[in-house]
Homo-oligomer: A and B are copies of this chain.
Amino acid sequence: MERIVMKFGGTSVANEERIERAASLILKEVEQGKQVAVVVSAMGKTTDQLLALAGEIHPNATSRELDMLLTTGEQVTASLLAMAITAKGIEARSFTGWQAGIQTDSIHSKARIEEVKAGKVIATLNKGGVAVITGFQGVDGTGEITTLGRGGSDTSAVAVAIAIEAARCDIYTDVEGVFTTDPRMIKNASKLIEISYDEMLELANLGAGVLHPRAIEFAKNHQMPLRVRPAHIEGMGTVIKEEVEMESNLIVRGVAFEEDIVRITIMYDTPYNGSLANIFTALAGEQVNVDIIVQTIMEGEQPSVSFSIKNEDFAKTMNVLEVNKAELGYKRADFEVGLAKVSIVGSGMVSNPGVAANMFDALRLASIPIKMVSTSEIKVSVVIPTTHMEEAVAVLHNTFALEQIS
């Protein structure tokens, strides 16, 4: 009998009504002869509310105690959803992370799953029951309750799917699936039927929300097919798997974008002397995420290096540069704010060398200035002024005929 995992995020279980709806979706799968394990997040804003409560009591509570506090959120959802399923005449049992055998390392608030001992879950499935498992949490080797950090519930779902040898893992969410770009911005954005793990990873890392990169990587490593699908309406969503049917005209499958980018440029008056690595080591030491790095060493000119960061890391970055100026040995540091990153993503690019050129051409024709460029095998990103972001997305969506994907 085929097993599947169904994962419901916080908005999909935010109140009684949505919990009922989730139960109906589960019922439908059971009626189709599936064995169903469910993974749930905390209801709606529960986690934020618990964090606020903790903040009032101790602004710097230990991550161990925060884990003890926050894990109650999923436990509430799991038991309520189990009740809702039982009310529809199907046996259901809820399981906390430790009961479901989700074993993690001991790093509170960002634990990694080491193993899922799914014996109890499988026993429930084999008896025809639905197992409802708390996402986001596990237990370490000494019986301490841990949480998995951001994207934790998606990761839990994938881990459970792998452990019970599920045919696939359905991630229910409040969007219809994965789109060629954000449909709230570009009206004719199309929903993708399929997308590869790597493409999805790029889109996820570029801020296209929906699924956490960590869960995608995990699924990719175990070749577990994922499906992102809507909980609030009917819809088959988007399947994420290794190999994707690829028509010749679908070289680019999505346009991602991200605001609040800052470009920092550092100029030296002497030739490059190894201090480049020092800069990024110093920034990494302060948890600054550096994205695009562009280095120019031109004969006869002063060497310089540019890199992009998120706005939120701006002050920290300038401080690191200031404090380490002598050691880093640069002459001058410049910055430019008000930038955005726009990227095209598609597995087909690797065998179609003209794609980047098409992108630059299209942006040039629209008089959109390009500040930085970065390319990978399945992605080309440009940094441009934020004022041009929406236009750039529309132009690229059009250029690569993404409204025709269906």
Contacts and interface: CB of A to CB of B under 8 A. Distances in A.
B82 A78 contact: no
A83 B65 CA distance: 7
B53 A80 contact: yes
Contacts of A20: 57
A143 B93 contact: no
A250 to B, nearest CB: 44
Nearest to A43: B53
Contacts of A98: 98, 143
B53 A65 contact: no
A193 interface: no
Contacts of A155: none
Interface stretch (A69-77, A182-190, A214-222): A69-77
Given A16-B56, A57-B84, A58-B86, A69 B79 contact: yes
A56 to B, nearest CB: 5
Contact of A87 (B58, B80, B82): B58
B80 A76 contact: no
A75 B79 CA distance: 15
Contacts of A87: 57-58
Contact of A76 (B50, B61, B99): B50
Given A86-B65, A145-B96, A16 B80 contact: no
A256 B66 CA distance: 44
A273 to B, nearest CB: 48
A267 interface: no
A68 B57 contact: no
A64 interface: yes
B65 A82 contact: yes
A20 B57 CA distance: 8
B58 A79 contact: no
Given A143-B99, A145-B96, A57 B76 contact: no
Contacts of A83: 54, 57-58, 61-62, 65, 69
A231 interface: no
A54 B80 contact: yes
Contacts of A19: 57
Most buried by B among A61, A62, A80, A144: A80
Interface string A44-61: 000000100110111001
Contact of A57 (B61, B80, B96, B143): B80
A94 interface: yes
A32 to B, nearest CB: 23
A78 B84 contact: no
Given A16-B53, A96-B145, A84 B58 contact: yes
Given A53-B16, A57-B19, A99-B143, A69 B80 contact: yes
A20 to B, nearest CB: 7
- Top-5 shortest CB links A-B: A72-B72, A68-B79, A58-B83, A69-B79, A58-B87
Given A68-B94, A98-B98, 10 more contacts: A19-B57, A57-B80, A57-B83, A58-B83, A68-B79, A68-B96, A69-B79, A72-B72, A72-B75, A72-B76
Interface of A: 16, 19-20, 50, 53-54, 56-58, 61-62, 64-66, 68-69, 71-72, 75-76, 78-80, 82-84, 86-87, 93-94, 96, 98-99, 120, 143-145
26 contacts: A16-B57, A50-B76, A54-B79, A54-B80, A57-B83, A57-B84, A58-B83, A58-B86, A62-B83, A65-B94, A66-B79, A68-B75, A68-B79, A68-B94, A69-B75, A69-B76, A69-B80, A69-B83, A72-B72, A72-B75, A72-B76, A75-B75, A96-B145, A98-B98, A99-B143, A99-B144
